[in-house]
């Protein structure tokens, strides 16, 4: 069984970003900001962007959209040693 953090990383990798609504509907994660904080503390570089939109009632709402920073994407493309350049640490 995967953890919520694992599912979030997989979702961002596959979809490019995640919002709290997507996390709740697709992953069953109710506290996305807390899990993002956990991921940041464990070494992931995650960026947040405040998005302005309208809700179904026409009201203006603001919410966070989270994306992986480039150094994470490089590391996930087959490098298992944690080095973005593919070289093992000396």
- The domain spans of the chain are 4-69
CA distance 73 to 3: 20
Greater confidence, 61 or 78?
Answer: 61
Domain 4-69 matching CATH 1.10.10: the answer reads yes
DSSP the chain: ---HHHHHHHHHHHHS-EEHHHIIIII--S-HHHHHHHHHHTT--EEEEEEEEE-TTS-EEEEEEEEE-HHHHHHHSS--SS-TTSPPP-
pLDDT tens across 10-66, in order? Answer: 999 999 999 999 999 999 999 999 999 999 999 999 999 999 999 999 999 999 999
């Amino acid at each position: 069984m995967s953890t919520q953090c694992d599912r979030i990383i997989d979702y961002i990798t596959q979809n490019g970003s995640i919002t709290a609504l997507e996390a709740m509907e697709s992953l069953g994660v109710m506290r996305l900001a807390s899990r993002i904080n956990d991921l940041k503390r464990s070494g992931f570089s995650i960026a947040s962007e405040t998005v302005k939109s309208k809700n179904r009632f026409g009201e203006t709402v603001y919410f966070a959209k989270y994306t992986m920073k480039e150094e994470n994407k490089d590391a996930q493309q087959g490098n298992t040693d944690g080095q973005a350049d593919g070289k093992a640490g000396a």
